[in-house]
Amino acid sequence: MLLHGGRPEDHAASNGLHIQRRSCRITGDGRGIIPHTEIMMIDGAYDDDLVPRVCIGSGNFTHPENSDDSQLRLMGRDAHSAYLSWFYKLRSACGG
C-alpha cells in the first residue's frame, strides 16, 4: 500500500522520508485479493497554489522518463477527499 522506508530505492523515492509499508490480503469470494494501487495525493503547497490533487493511473513515479503509462490528474477538494476516504477504508480492511 505504501512505500517502505527501509530499502535504498524506496528511500530515494520518498525524498528520504520514512514512509510506512503494510502488506495486505483481503479475502473476498473465498479467495485472497492483494490490492495494487498507484495513487499520489497532494494536499498542500504545490506548483504555486494550494489546490489538492490526486494522480492515479499506471504511471511510474520513480522514473517517469522510462515509462509509457497513462495517468489521470484530478484537482479539487472533492476528488481529494473522496480518494482519501477510499484510502482509509482500504487501509482499515488491511488491518491498519
Q: Please list, in sequence order, all residues whose beta carbon lies within 8 angstroms of the beta carbon of residue 67, skipping any fewer than 6 positions away.
A: 59, 60
Q: Where are the domains of the chain?
A: 8-93
Residue 65, pLDDT score: 74
The model's pTM: 0.66
Residue 1, pLDDT score: 42
CA distance 2 to 5: 9
**N-terminal to C-terminal alpha carbon distance within the chain:** 11
41 close to 53: Cβ distance less than 8 angstroms: yes
| pLDDT single digits (tens) 53-81 | 999 987 766 776 777 778 899 999 999 99
57 close to 39: Cβ distance less than 8 angstroms: no
Element (H, E) at 88: helix 77-93
Element (H, E) at 28: strand 26-28
